[in-house]
Each structure stands twice: as structure tokens, then as C-alpha cells.
Amino acid sequence: MANQKNQNNIPETMEEFMSSIKHGCELARNLEPELVNNMANQPDMLLFSIDEVVRAFNDAKERLVMMISQKQGQTMATTSSSLTPPMLLPHDESQSGQMMGASAHFMDHLFLMQQQPQFGVRGLLENKSGSDVQQYGVTRQIGEMGGKNVEVSDKSKGSEGEMQGIEASPSRPRKSRKNDMEKIMLFPAPQVGNTEMPPDDGFTWRKYGQKEILGTKYPRAYYRCTHQKLYACPAKKQVQRLDDNPNIFQVKYRGEHTCHMSSTAPSSFPPPQLLVDISNSKDMTQTQTNISPQPSPSTTSVSGWLSTVNLGLQGGGGGGGGGAGPSSSKYGTDQYFVADMADAMFNSGSSSGNSMESLFPSTEDKWEAAEKKS
């Protein structure tokens, strides 16, 4: 009964949510032309305008939280208790009027929006496995956790063969050639910036190969730890878009990072948002500890995000040629997102006059274009 009521409420809340988001976008758009002037002459006005934008997004966020908690109410009863409680909003809502809170909230909004269901994670997961209930639970959490890592006790992944079913050719599942410890995770593709870039997982990787895999639409990229030589770090990863949802990267980790154990080793960034851990290794304990992005609150917290922004913005250099962009970790998924968002919001002056469109581009369009290419 109660579930039914919640279900009925969702579309209405969704509508309100969309309306709030649109309102926020509009305010931001209105803000844009005045940005330069106000910045120089009327910083108070600018402050006020920004606060308005923040409030609009806050409003949207609250509605989204409502929707999510409604969904949670529906699924909790059937969802595995191993799923951690949601930690969507680490900050105090009461701060929203303050400037400090405002900018930080805005970042949180941006992050949250990156996780919108429209990215099709749920569809993907439901299609991939028979376990709808569990997968739905996972999907729900993706939103709830605002990009926080979600470790899934994947009960359906008994064997490697089944795992291959997820990652590779449906027609000819191949056994893994090695019995290496593997950890497989799903990450959302960046929605803005370089969407071709594999998701940042807090480590620095160097690409050493790419290969078309039989039965899959998208090539698989091979990365090894940048510090492989320096610290004899054996960690590797494979990144591949999922066939039926290119917005999701499947990342397969092999080997453990030993580089961060060295006192001189470069420290790694806090890990990014992880959609799902679908690792299939029989003995994951070690790999999990070392590789799995940890759901540290700072990842989505204000300070975490702000520091992430700094890290992201100070990247810039390096990165070589061959159309070679920066390595995935220099401008990770989240860093890209925030940096781009900030860029679009405060650095616009672009001809388009619609920064929000660049902030929230239609991912479908992008992928359609990509598929047309191929």
C-alpha cells in the first residue's frame, strides 16, 4: 500500500525536480551575460545571483533526495542488507544560505547531477543480470550515494564464465586465461569534458595498448601503473565501455599497487565515484583493500570536492602526443566534471550563450555520434 503511494508520488516529484533544475539552469544562464560586469562592479549582486542559483539547485536536490528515499522505501525490504546506508548529502542543509556552503553545495549539486538516472545505469544492470532486485538496489544507491562507491556483493557472479558474460562476447564466452586476481568495477563515463577518457580511480595509469575485442562494440584499453618501473608496481587495469551502455566503463583491475606503499611514492587522489563493484575474483581481500576506491566521505564532501577541484585544475601539463591527451588520472572523471562546470559557469564568455548546455550535454547525442563514426 505504502509502496503504491510512493510510486504514485514519484512522477510528480520528478516533475518538480526537473522544474527546479531547469529553473536553476535558467538563473545560471541569466547570470552569465552579467558575469563580467557584476564581477567588476557589483560583486554583491553577483553574490546574490549565485545564491539564487544555489537555492534553485538545492531545491532540486531536496526533491531528488525525496525521490530517492521513496525508492529506497520500496526496495529496502527486498534489497540485500549488505548495501550500505546512503550517504548522499554529507553537508548540513542549514548552511545553504551561507556563501561558503553555497559554493560547496553547488559542487555537490553538480556531482549529484552527474549521477542522474538518465545515464541508464539501471537499465544496464537490469539487462545484464537476472537479479533485478539486487541490481535495482545498486542503481538506487548510485543516486543516493551521490557517486559514492558502492560495493556489491555480487551473488550472481559465481564463476569467471558468468563474469565474461557481462564483459565480453555473448556468443562466445571465453575463460580467463589467467587466474590472476581480478576486480571488476563499473564507472560512469564523464558526461562533460573528455568523455573518451576512462574514469579516474585515484591512481595514475599509463596506457600501453588498445584492442578491439571480439563481440564487443568498443575497444578495450590496457593500462599499467605509471610507477611500474620506479616502484615495480604490477598494477594494471583494462577499461572498456559496456556494449549496451557506453556511458558506463567497465574497469578490470589486475595486480596490486605497490607504489603507494613506498614513502617516496606519489600519493594518490581520493577515489572517484564508482557505480558498481562487480569483481569476480575468488580471493579479493587484498585487491579490494588496495584497489577498490574507498567510499571516503571526503569524496563528495565540500572539502573533498574543493580539493579535487584544485587538483584537477592544477593538472594541465604533461601528457604527450599522439593525439595523446593527459593520462586518465591527471584529469579524472570527477575533476573534469567540476573543472568543466566551473569553467562553463565562471569562465564562459563563449559564443554559445548557453553554458548550461555545455554543462549537461545530451549524452545520447554524443554516443550516437560515436556510434555513427564506428
Interface residues toward DNA, by CB under 7 A? 168-169, 174-178, 205-215, 220-222, 224, 226, 236, 238, 254, 317-328
Nearer of residues 105 and 220 to DNA, judged by Cβ: 220
Tell me the three cell numbers of residue 308: 579535487
**CB of 134 or CB of 238, closer to DNA:** 238
Strand (E) or helix (H) holding 239 = strand 236-242
- Please report how close the Cβ of residue 224 comes to DNA at its closest, in angstroms: 7
15, 82 contact by CB (below 8 A):
no
Distance, in Å, from the CA atom of 274 to the CA atom of 290, rounded to the nearest integer, reads 15
Closer Cβ to DNA, 52 or 162, answer by number = 162
CB of 116 to DNA, least distance (A): 28
Angle in degrees, 0-180, between the axes of helices 121-128 and 132-144, rounded to the nearest 10:
160
What the block records as the C-alpha cell of 362 is 545530451
d(CA 270, CA 264): 18
Query: Looking only at Cα atoms, what is the longest distance across the chain?
Result: 66
Provide the minimum distance between the beta carbon of 320 and DNA in the complex, in angstroms, as a whole number.
3
Which CB atom, from 175 or from 373, has the smaller least distance to DNA? 175
- Position of cell 545553504? 96
Closer CB to DNA, residue 205 or residue 305? 205
Nearer to DNA, 81 or 171 (CB): 171
Q: Min. distance of Cβ 185 from DNA in angstroms?
A: 15
> Which residues on adjacent β-strands are paired with residue 209?
222
Nearest approach, Cβ of residue 184 and DNA (Å): 11
The Cα 58–Cα 102 span in angstroms is: 9
d(CA 294, CA 366): 30
What minimum distance in Å lies between the beta carbon of 312 and DNA? 16
Query: ∠ at Cα 365 (364, 366), nearest 5°?
Result: 90
